[in-house]
Amino acid sequence: MRVLITGAAGFIGSTLAHRLAARGTEVVGIDNLNDYYPVALKQDRLKRLQSECGDKFTFHKVDFSDMGALNSVLADEKFDRIVHLGAQAGVRYSIENPHAYVQANLVGHLNMLEVARNREVEHMVYASSSSVYGGNTKLPFSVDDRVDHPLSLYAATKKADELMSETYANLYRLPLTGLRFFTVYGPWGRPDMMMWIFTKKILEGETIPVFNGGNMYRDFTYVEDIVSGVVACLDNPPSDDAKPKAGGSIQPHALYNIGNHRSEHLMKVIEILEAECGKKAVMEMLPMQDGDVEKTYADIDAIQSDLGYQPTTPIEVGVPAFVAWYKEYNGL
């Protein structure tokens, strides 16, 4: 099998590429290396892949929302399956720069669907997000829940990606699997995410912003558990048998939550960070942010029963692993 990964210089994408290459799967990675967060981190992830994966990993710099450039780069590349993880990330940034999300998450997703259709790939797995659940109050969030009330443009683009994918599964019988990720963290993570921000500020003695007065709950999911779920999905395309799939489609299109199936209180995570950093956090209690939600909690019954997915990393293990990596990466 040869797999194309978009967002290969990203957090989840680079970790997935490393896992696939380690098992002998050839990986073609693409990424536009944009400056939403420091490009140096993305380049360091690529250096790790190139040094540890050898000829199992090939990389091309390209913006997948530019169809002409994408077709040009992929013209001589062969691949059997696609994992489309590239996107403009960040709930809060979508309020400041909405056009970036339309270009990357809508135009870009359509382009990848077209690549998958024209290449007649065996399966495309794509990243959705737990943010599609928006204002839902029923916990845990299930793939059978309605997701018609997004609270941010980012969430709306991810729901739109699911809808576009449903039409391609219907029109072209293209096997597709959408994955709603829940608060991913771990080594090689993103500097714009809470785990990195809090660790950095605690170590440097700076004040950390704690929203909703700390009354926040998240289904924190360790990146290696996420990747295990992605690989399980990649290896098991949905059947074109007119039977209902996870998420309710009768097309060859499944939707799964990938989470830790635990909703952890934010203050508990801060306590673990304090212990690992060896410092007390200086906290500024703030109101809820626009576009944010108070609680996330993944119902993972569907992916457990269909694919045997089982997260194994509680925050008591995962958070110390992240802090240890952060210190090593930053020479602390």
Please give the positions annotated as active site: 154
How distant, in Å, are the alpha carbons of 36, 43, 242 from that of 48? 21, 9, 43
Structure-block tokens of residue 88: 């403009």
142: how many CB neighbours lie within 10 A of its CB? 17
How distant, in Å, are the alpha carbons of 92, 100, 124 from that of 88? 11, 7, 19
The vertex-37 CA angle with 125 and 312, nearest 5°, equals 50
How distant, in Å, are the alpha carbons of 43, 67, 305 from that of 256? 30, 28, 11
Angstrom distance (rounded) from CA 114 to CA 109: 9
Q: What are phi and psi of 100, to 5 degrees?
A: -60, -35
Which residues are 3's β-sheet partners?
A: 27, 81
Q: Closest Cα to residue 291, out of 112, 101, 87?
A: 101
What is the DSSP code string of 232-254? HHHTSPPP-SSPPPTTS-SSSEE
Buried b (16+ CB within 10 A) or exposed e, 176-198: bbbbbbbbbbbbbbbeebbbbeb
SS3 288: coil
* CB neighbour list of residue 79: distance below 8 Å, 6 or more residues apart: 2, 3, 4, 28, 119, 121
C-beta pairs of 200-203 under 8 Å, 24+ apart in sequence: 200/326, 201/281, 202/273, 202/274, 202/277, 202/279, 202/281, 203/277, 203/279, 203/327, 203/332
**What is the sign of the dihedral through the CA atoms of 228, 229, 230 and 231?**
positive
**AA identity, residue 234:** L
